[in-house]
């Protein structure tokens, strides 16, 4: 029995190469039993003005490199993040990415739980 997958189940979070486009890079790393793990590489990306994520899944997100600022609906103060910071965003908590560094890639690790009904 093989314990470590040689496919998408293994790799290096910091090896992502040059961007193929100006879009934010989202790589699905693992998906199993309703849990998803993604690596997100942001290069000066932000949510569009007045756009809020409202996911039916809780999201645990850690910033591995770069810098970013999150905003949560109803909260006056933004939530700045530096490498090593993490936050658990509950399902249906409206939030947005206000800013990411444009001088170095902001690498996120995001873990999504199974959906939570309203």
What averages of pLDDT result for each successive group of 10 residues across the chain (118 residues)? Answer: 68 86 91 94 96 97 99 98 99 98 97 88
For the chain, domain boundaries:
25-115
Please report the pLDDT score of residue 7 as a whole number: 62
Cβ(107)–Cβ(64) below 8 Å:
yes
0.75 surpassed by pTM: yes
Superfamily of domain 25-115: Jelly Rolls (2.60.120.10)
Please report the pLDDT score of residue 117 as a whole number: 77
């Amino acid at each position: 029995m093989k314990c470590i997958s040689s496919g998408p189940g293994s790799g290096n979070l910091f090896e992502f190469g040059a961007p193929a486009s100006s879009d934010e890079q989202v790589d699905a790393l693992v998906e199993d039993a309703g849990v998803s793990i993604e690596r997100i590489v942001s290069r000066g990306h932000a949510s569009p003005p007045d756009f809020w994520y409202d996911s039916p899944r809780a999201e645990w997100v850690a910033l591995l490199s770069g810098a970013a600022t999150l905003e949560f609906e109803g909260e006056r103060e933004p939530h700045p993040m530096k490498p090593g910071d993490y936050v658990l965003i509950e399902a249906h908590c409206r939030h947005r990415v206000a800013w990411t560094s444009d001088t170095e890639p902001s690498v996120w690790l995001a873990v999504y739980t199974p959906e939570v009904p309203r």
